[in-house]
């Protein structure tokens, strides 16, 4: 009987160790910015919730981050997000001046993009076209192609 308990304890410990090696499932919103022209500067990512501040007021963004560029791509995982509708705007800030540089006609000189890869006719796309739903406990993936 004593040997049975020893074997039982060893097996129970082994099962615990096997389970400890499993990776934890990711959750949140993962944004991958692709088709960057170069690796100069950084990518500024603004995550907006429920339309507040979208798309131009990064100070009202729910979350924002400055990303390094590697292999002409940049990636971020926003975690701990409540359920809701979100949209993302990105800027490839090549000269690190924290703003979009434009020509005299107002045409962007640096790369930009929006979630769902939507574009606007004469300005940024609407919230309804750029937004997407996110639920806690789920990994929501979005790829944004930079436009120049």
pTM for this structure?
0.82
Q: 79: cis peptide before it, omega within 30°?
A: no
Cα 65 from Cα 75, distance rounded (Å): 10
Q: What is the pLDDT of residue 15?
A: 44
Cα 55 from Cα 91, distance rounded (Å): 11
Kindly state whether residue 4 falls inside one of the protein's structural domains: no
Residues 40-97: pLDDT tens digits? 999 999 999 999 999 989 999 999 999 999 999 999 999 999 999 999 999 999 999 9
Residues 111-140: pLDDT tens digits? 999 999 999 988 999 999 999 999 999 999
Q: What is the pLDDT of residue 25?
A: 73
pLDDT greater than 90 at residue 34: yes
* 129, two tokens: 């076209």
Kindly state whether residue 2 falls inside one of the protein's structural domains: no
Q: What is the pLDDT of residue 24?
A: 56
Kindly state whether residue 61 falls inside one of the protein's structural domains: yes
Kindly state whether residue 82 falls inside one of the protein's structural domains: yes
Q: What is the pLDDT of residue 16?
A: 45
Q: What is the pLDDT of residue 79?
A: 98
Q: What is the pLDDT of residue 83?
A: 97
Cα 70 from Cα 36, distance rounded (Å): 10
90 φ/ψ angles, rounded to the nearest 5 degrees: -130, 155
Nearest to 143 by CA among 110, 118, 107: 118
Q: Which domain holds residue 131?
A: 26-145
Answer whether 32's CB lies under 8 Å from 75's CB: yes
Kindly state whether residue 20 falls inside one of the protein's structural domains: no
Kindly state whether residue 13 falls inside one of the protein's structural domains: no
Kindly state whether residue 63 falls inside one of the protein's structural domains: yes
CA-CA distances (angstroms) from residue 67 to 10, 54, 102, 103? 47, 20, 21, 25
pLDDT greater than 50 at residue 17: no
Q: How many domains does the chain have?
A: 1
CATH number at residue 100: 2.60.40
60 φ/ψ angles, rounded to the nearest 5 degrees: -100, 5
* 99, two tokens: 């703003």
Characterize 9-40 residue by residue with b for buried, 16 or more Cβ atoms within 10 angstroms of its Cβ, and e for exposed. Answer: eeeeeeeeeeeeeeeeeebbbbbebeebeeee
Q: What is the pLDDT of residue 117?
A: 98
Kindly state whether residue 84 falls inside one of the protein's structural domains: yes
């Amino acid at each position: 009987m004593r040997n049975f308990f020893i074997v039982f304890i060893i097996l129970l410990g082994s099962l615990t160790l096997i389970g400890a090696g499993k990776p934890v499932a990711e959750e949140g919103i993962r944004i991958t910015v692709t088709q960057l022209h170069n690796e100069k500067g950084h990518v500024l990512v603004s995550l907006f919730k429920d339309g507040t501040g979208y798309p131009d007021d990064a100070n009202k963004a729910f979350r924002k981050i400055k990303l390094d560029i590697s292999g002409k791509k940049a990636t971020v995982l926003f975690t701990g997000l409540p359920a809701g509708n979100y949209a993302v705007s990105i800027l490839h800030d090549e000269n690190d001046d924290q703003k979009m540089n434009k020509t005299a006609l107002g045409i962007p000189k640096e790369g930009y993009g929006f979630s769902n890869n939507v574009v606007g006719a004469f300005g940024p796309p609407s919230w309804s076209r750029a937004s997407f739903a996110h639920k806690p406990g789920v990994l929501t993936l979005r790829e944004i192609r930079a436009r120049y």
